[in-house]
């Protein structure tokens, strides 16, 4: 019998085809932890307006970034799984996706059937929010498999030190006017209902900056990106801040994206294409990004150590009956 570790990421379409992207978006945007509107109201809008309009656009983005190994998110998650398995040779390390394949419940049952006795579930998101973690937790609990769930790791010093080193390595290469910590946004309605995400993001920036040696604190700004829909989301918005910087004559920026531990649609297409174009069109010059963890050795070792730490100090969550 072995201990088990299940790494959980967001997910990706099976292929960049319109049909597969539509199926992925339908599952993702039907999640009421993501879009909290009543189903009777939201589903006709989703099926009648959002999916027809958004599918082809998203499919085009996926086609631009697709690799021989598939979606970068999936490929890097596979690399993380392999490296963490090497760091934990006596464990059974697997991964699953919150949306799409492989499914959380299926993989947990497979791990249990193999005899894994203590299973740690580790969502690959440093900061907790309802819109990512609650669905993962619900699916884990619906499996009936007893687990230890790590809900966040933004405040782990080793994680902060790894990110700080990446920033310190990137910053001296050019004369940057600003260093922007950009996090995936969430609706303000979630924050007002008590979601701790905004506070954890701000604490992430502060924690990382304690270890950063090269960057003056007055050059650092925390913003949010990836807004969806007409309702207010966490501000400041990245795109608006980039235009403000260019207008103030600050034309060289370095972007840090702690929400994304691997390159994905938001880093490759949203930032390196759309936000880059916005900044350049506004008069910006240099738009560089600190690479995400992308399966780096030290980050994978951190994930392994964090999982061991969880078993030593944490308790198993009570499983619900199978749905």
Which segments within 210-304 are labelled E, that is strand?
220-225, 252-256, 286-289
- Residues paired with 286 in a beta bridge: 252
- Residues paired with 306 in a beta bridge: none
Q: Which residues contact 98 (CB under 8 A, 6 or more apart)?
A: 8, 9, 10, 11, 104, 132, 135, 136, 139
Q: Which residues contact 66 (CB under 8 A, 6 or more apart)?
A: 15, 16
Which residue in 26, 24, 29, 30 sits closest to 11, CA to CA?
24
Contacts 24+ apart (CB under 8 A), 77-82: 77/7, 77/9, 77/124, 77/262, 79/294, 79/295, 80/7, 80/124, 80/262, 80/295, 80/299, 80/300, 80/303, 81/7
Is 109 annotated in a binding site? The answer is no
Is 148 annotated in a binding site? The answer is no
* Dist CA 185 CA 278 (whole Å): 18
* Dist CA 86 CA 226 (whole Å): 34
Binding site listing for Fe(2+): 184, 266
Binding site listing: 184, 266
């Amino acid at each position: 019998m072995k201990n088990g570790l299940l790494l959980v990421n967001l997910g990706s379409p099976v292929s960049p085809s319109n049909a597969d992207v539509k199926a992925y978006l339908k599952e993702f945007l039907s999640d009421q932890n993501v879009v909290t509107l009543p189903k009777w109201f939201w589903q006709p809008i989703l099926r009648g307006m959002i999916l027809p309009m958004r599918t082809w656009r998203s499919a085009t983005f996926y086609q631009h970034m697709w690799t021989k190994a598939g979606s970068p998110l999936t490929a890097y998650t596979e690399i993380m799984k392999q490296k963490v398995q090497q760091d934990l040779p006596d464990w059974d390390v697997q991964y699953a996706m919150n949306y799409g394949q492989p499914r959380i419940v299926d993989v947990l049952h497979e791990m249990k059937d193999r005899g894994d006795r203590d299973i740690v579930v580790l969502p690959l998101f440093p900061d907790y929010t309802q819109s990512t973690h609650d669905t993962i937790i619900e699916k884990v609990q619906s499996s009936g498999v007893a687990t230890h769930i790590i809900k966040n790791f933004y405040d782990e010093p080793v994680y902060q030190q790894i990110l700080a080193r990446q920033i310190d390595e990137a910053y001296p290469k050019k004369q940057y006017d600003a260093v922007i910590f950009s996090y995936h946004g969430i609706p303000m309605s979630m924050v007002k209902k008590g979601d701790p995400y905004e506070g954890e993001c701000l604490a992430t920036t502060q924690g990382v900056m304690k270890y950063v040696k090269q960057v003056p604190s007055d050059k650092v700004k925390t913003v949010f990106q990836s807004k969806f829909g007409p309702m207010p989301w966490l501000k400041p918005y990245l795109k608006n801040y980039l235009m403000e910087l260019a207008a103030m004559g600050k034309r060289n920026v370095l972007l840090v994206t702690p929400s994304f531990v691997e390159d994905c649609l938001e880093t490759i297409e949203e930032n390196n294409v759309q936000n880059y174009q916005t900044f350049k069109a506004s008069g910006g010059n240099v738009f560089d990004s600190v690479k995400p963890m992308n399966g780096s050795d030290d980050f994978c070792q951190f994930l392994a150590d964090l999982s061991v730490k969880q078993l030593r100090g944490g308790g198993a969550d009570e499983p619900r009956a199978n749905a």
